[in-house]
Amino acid sequence: MIHEACYADGHTTRWSAQRTRPAEYDDDATLFTGEHVFPSVFTDLPGLAPLREAAELLAEREWPRLYDADVLRSCEVPCAAAIYAEDAYVDRRFSEETAGLIPTMRPWVTNEYEHNGLRAAGEHVLGRLIDLVRGRA
């Protein structure tokens, strides 16, 4: 229900996935829409119907900025991040830009996984990230 909101950078979403979806997607159910959430799921799926009012409130909520660039630039905490080169959901460029703001960030750009690293190989991914933070990789 809050999935769309995680992309709201200082504004409301007002069901942006639906508003910006190209018309051809309306006519062809086989076209991939990724992780987009549409208001119709809260009427079409009985299990989600009780959440419709809350979903509408979230779609109209004005969200704060996702990141404060100045705060990120002042980060002193050692950190690492996996950036999946061919991620279908997160544009690599945005991940690299955000990671680039953090002076202590050790990014790991990989094409071994596509958005699913922790699920597919959690021990490997987490181990690699810990090694990066500790300066062993």
pLDDT at residue 34 greater than cutoff 80 = no
User: Within 10 Å of residue 81's Cβ, how many Cβ atoms?
Assistant: 16
Report the pLDDT averaged over residues 34-52.
Answer: 92
With left for phi above 0 and alpha for psi between -120 and 50, is residue 28 left, alpha or beta?
A: beta
Residues 6+ apart with CB under 8 A from 119: none
Query: Is the alpha carbon torsion for 32, 108, 123, 104 positive or negative?
Result: negative
Report the pLDDT averaged over residues 36-58.
Answer: 94
Residue 64 main-chain phi, psi, to 5 deg: -75, 170
pLDDT in tens, 98-135: 999 999 999 999 999 988 899 999 999 999 999 999 99
Burial class (CB in 10 A: 0-12, 13-18, 19+), 63: middle
Closest-CA residue to 34 (of 88, 73, 97): 88
State pTM to two decimals. Answer: 0.74
Q: Where are the beta strands (DSSP E) in the chain?
A: 79-84, 105-110
